[in-house]
Structure 1
Amino acid sequence: MLRSIQVQMLRDVRLRIAQCIVWGLVVQALYVLQGLGLAWAMAVVLRQAPLAQALPGLLLALAAIAVRAVCVWAAELAADALGQRFKARLRADILAQMVRLGPAGMPGQRNGALQLAAVAGVETLESYYSRYLPALGVALLGVAAVLALLAWVDPVTAGVLALFALAQPLIELLWMRRQMPVASGVFAAMAAFAAALLDALQGLVTLKAFGASARWRDDLAQHASHLRTASMDALRATLARTGLSTLVGLGGIATVLALNTARLAAGDLAAPALLLSLLLAREVFRPLDRLEKAFHAVWMAAGAWEPIAQLMAAAPAVADPPCPAPGCPTPGCPVPMPAGHAIAFEKVSFRYPGAEAWALKDFSLQIAEGEFVALVGASGAGKSSVAALLLRFFDPEHGSVRLGGCDLRELSLAQLRSRMAWVPQDSSLLAGSVARNLRLGQPGAGLQALQQATLAAGVAEDIQRMPQGYDSPVGEGGSRLSGGQRQRLALARALLRDAAVLVLDEPSAHLDAAAQAHAMQTLAQLRGHCSILMVAHRLETVRDADRIVVLAQGGVVEEGSHSELAQRPGSAYASLMAAQRLETQRLKGGPR
Structure 2
Amino acid sequence: MSWRPGLLGDAGPGRRGTAGLLRVLAAYRLPYALSVLFGVLNQGAGIAALTLGGYLVGLALTGTPASRLWPLAVLTVALMVVQALANWLEAWISHELSFRLLAEVRYWLYRAFERIAPGGLVTRRTGDLAAIALRDAENLEIFYAHTSIYIAVALILPPVALVALAVVAWPLAAVLAPWLLLVATVPFALRRRHAAHGRRVRDLRALVGTRMLDLVQGLREVLTFGRDEDTRTELTQASADLAEAQRRQAVRGGLEQAVCATLTGAGTVSVLATAVWHRVEVPILVAATVFAGQSFTPLLTLLKVTRIWGLTSSSADRVFDLLEEPAVVDDSGTRDAPDTACSVTIDRVWFRYGEDEAWVLRGADLTVPAGSTVALVGATGAGKSTMAGLLLRAFDPQRGVVRVNGVDIREYRLEALLRLVAYVPQDVFLLHDTLRENLLLAAPDASDAALDEVTAAAQLRPVLRRLPDGLDTIVGERGARLSGGERQRVALARALLRDAPILVLDESSSQLDVLSEREIGTAVDQLRSGRTTLVIAHRLATIRTADLVALLQDGQVVDIAPHEVLIERCAGYAALIASQRDADALMAAAPSGKPSPSPEGR
Shared fold (TM-score greater than 0.5)? yes
AA in 1 matched with 2:562: S
Q: For residue 279 of structure 1, what is the amino acid of its counterpart?
A: V
Counterpart for residue 14 of structure 1: 29
* Cα 1:420/1:85, change in 2 over 3 Å: same
Distance in structure 2 (CA, Å) of the matches to 1:231 and 1:182:
8
User: CA separation of 1:236/1:37 partners in 2, compared to 1, >3 Å: closer, same or farther?
Assistant: closer
Letter in 1 for 2:495: A
Distance across 1 between alignment mates of 2:473 and 2:29: 44
User: What does 1:309-320 correspond to in 2, within 5 Å?
Assistant: 309-320=320-331
Match of 2:414 in 1: 413
Q: What is the correspondence of 1:129-140 to structure 2 with a 5 Å cutoff?
A: 129-140=144-155
Are residues 434 and 310 of structure 1, via their aligned partners in 2, closer, same or farther at CA, if it must alter by over 3 Å? Answer: same
Q: After the TM superposition, which residues 456-475 of structure 1 pair with which residues of structure 2 at under 5 Å, given as runs?
A: 456-475=457-476
2:580 corresponds to = 580
Match runs of 1:162-241 below 5 Å: 162-241=177-256
Asked whether 1:142 is paired with 2:142, we answer no
- Tell me, yes or no, if the aligned pair for 2:153 and 2:298 is still in contact at 8 Å: yes
Task: Choose from 66, 90, 95 the match for 2:105.
Answer: 90
Distance 1:319 1:579, change over 3 A: same
Q: Pairwise mapping of residues 352-367 of structure 1 onto structure 2 (< 5 A)? A: 352-367=353-368
1:518 aligns to what?
519
Counterpart of 2:450 in structure 1 is 449
Partner secondary structure for residue 331 of structure 2: coil
Inter-partner Cα distance in structure 2 for 1:45 and 1:152: 23
Contact 2:342 2:405 (C-alpha < 8 Å) held by counterparts: yes
**Deviating more after overlay: 402-411 vs 217-226:** 217-226
Identity %: 32
Following the alignment from structure 2 to structure 1, what is the Cα–Cα distance between the partners of residues 386 and 184? 56
Q: Which ranges in structure 2 are unaligned for 5 or more consecutive residues?
A: 1-14, 592-602
The CA deviation string for residues 2-43 of structure 1, in whole angstroms up to 9 with x for no partner, is: 266344323233333222111101112321341354145324
**Bigger CA drift: 7-16 or 501-510?**
7-16
Does 2:94 match 1:79? yes
Q: Equivalent residue of 1:442, what SS?
A: coil
Give the structure 2 partner of residue 479 of structure 1: 480
The alignment status of 1:348 with 2:341, answered yes or no, reads: no
Q: What's the CA shift for 1:333?
A: 4.6
Aligned to 1:327: none
Other-structure match for 1:538: 539
- 1:71–1:77 distance in 2 versus 1, CA, 3 Å: same
Distance 1:179 1:49, change over 3 A: closer
Residue 107 of structure 1, CA deviation: 6.5
Instruction: Describe the superposition over 1:35-79 as per-residue Cα deviations: whole angstroms up to 9, x where unpaired.
Output: 354145324412323334322222222233234223322221112
Q: Counterparts of 1:47 and 1:247 in 2: how far apart (Å)?
A: 31
Query: Alignment partner of 2:549: what SS?
Result: strand
Q: 1:293 aligned to 2:304?
A: yes
Change in 2 beyond 3 A, CA 1:306/1:287: same
User: Distance between the aligned counterparts of 1:275 and 1:416, measured in 2?
Assistant: 77
Distance 1:353 1:315, change over 3 A: farther
| Residue identity matched to 1:254 | V
Q: Which residue matches 2:600?
A: none
Q: Deviation string for 1:143-192 (max 9, x for gaps)?
A: 22222221212212222222111111212201123453232222222333
Say which SS state the counterpart of residue 39 (structure 2) adopts: helix
* Residue type at the aligned position of 1:478: G
CA distance in 1 between partners of 2:241 and 2:269 (Å): 42
CA distance in 2, matches of 1:466, 1:64: 67
Assess if the C-alpha contact under 8 Å between 1:42 and 1:54 holds in 2: no
Give a deviation string over 1:401-454, Cα, whole Å, max 9, x none.
000111011111111001111111111122222222212221211111111122
- Please say if residues 549 and 560 of structure 1, whose CA atoms lie closer than 8 Å, have aligned partners that are also in contact: yes
When structure 1 is superposed on structure 2, of 249-258 and 556-565 the one drifting more is 556-565
**What letter matches 1:115 in structure 2?**
A
TM (normalized to structure 2)? 0.90
For 2:278, what is the secondary structure of its paired residue? helix
Q: SS in structure 1 opposite 2:23? A: helix
Whether the aligned pair in 2 keeps the contact of 1:422 and 1:504 (CA below 8 Å) is yes
How far apart, CA to CA, are the structure 2 residues paired with 1:574 and 1:491?
29
User: What CA deviation, in whole Å up to 9, does each residue of 1:503-560 have, x standing for no partner?
Assistant: 1111113333343223332121244421111111222222212222222221123333
Q: How many Å apart are 1:306 and its aligned residue?
A: 3.0
Partner of 1:119: 134
SS in structure 1 opposite 2:402?
Answer: strand
Distance change (3 Å), C-alpha of 1:424 and 1:198: same
Distance in 2 between residues matched to 1:477 and 1:31, nearest whole Å: 55
Q: Distance in 2 between matches of 1:352 and 1:570?
A: 30
SS at match of 1:396: coil
Corresponding residue of 2:285: 274
Return the alpha-carbon distance in structure 1 between the equivalents of residues 584 and 516 of structure 2: 19
Which stretch of structure 1 is more off in the superposition, 389-398 or 181-190? 181-190
| Alpha-carbon distance between aligned partners in 1 of 2:545 and 2:337, rounded to the nearest angstrom | 34
* Structure 1, 422-431 or 580-589: larger mean CA deviation: 580-589
Corresponding residue number in structure 1 for 2:549:
548
SS in 2 for 1:119: helix
2:401 equivalent to 1:400: yes
The match for 2:16 is 2
In the alignment, the residues of structure 2 paired with residue 15 and residue 161 of structure 1 have an alpha-carbon distance, to the nearest angstrom, of: 34
C-alpha change, 1:342 and 1:464, in structure 2 (3 Å) is same
Range that drifts further, 103-112 or 544-553: 103-112
Indicate the larger mover: 39-48 or 410-419. 39-48
Structure 1 CA distance, aligned partners of 2:339 and 2:386?
24
Matches within 5 A, 1:153-168: 153-168=168-183
CA separation of 1:411/1:569 partners in 2, compared to 1, >3 Å: closer, same or farther? Answer: closer
- What is the Cα deviation at residue 371 of structure 1? 0.9
Deviations 1:244-274 (A, max 9, x none): 122212221122123223333xxxx122211
Mark the runs of 5 or more structure 1 residues left unpaired by the alignment.
322-331
Name the CA distance, whole Å, in 2 between partners of 1:371 and 1:525: 13
What is the alpha-carbon root mean square deviation over aligned residues?
2.3
Kindly state the Cα deviation for residue 108 of structure 1 after the two structures are TM-superposed.
4.9
Please give the alpha-carbon distance, in whole angstroms, between the structure 1 residues aligned to 2:127 and 2:528. 42
Q: 1:366 to 1:491 in 2, by over 3 A?
A: same
Q: 1:340: how far off?
A: 5.1
Deviates more, 1:474-483 or 1:344-353: 474-483
Q: CA deviation at 1:212?
A: 1.6
Deviations 1:303-361 (A, max 9, x none): 2233334323322221212xxxxxxxxxx555575865110011111111255211111
Residues 505, 534 of structure 1: 8 Å contact kept? yes
Query: Take 2:98 and 2:469, find their aligned partners in 1: how far apart are those partners?
Result: 39
| Counterpart for residue 427 of structure 1 | 428
The offset of 1:584, in angstroms, is 4.9
For 1:473 and 1:84, locate their aligned partners in 2 and report how far apart those are by CA, in whole Å.
Answer: 31
Partner AA of 2:301 in structure 1: R
Are the aligned partners of 2:45 and 2:80 in contact in 1 as well (CA < 8 Å)? yes
Equivalence for 1:64: 79
> Conserved in 2, the CA contact under 8 Å of 1:338 and 1:404?
no
Structure 2 partner of 1:27: 42
* C-alpha deviation, 1:570, in angstroms: 5.5
Say if 2:337 and 2:417, in contact at 8 Å, map to a contact too: no
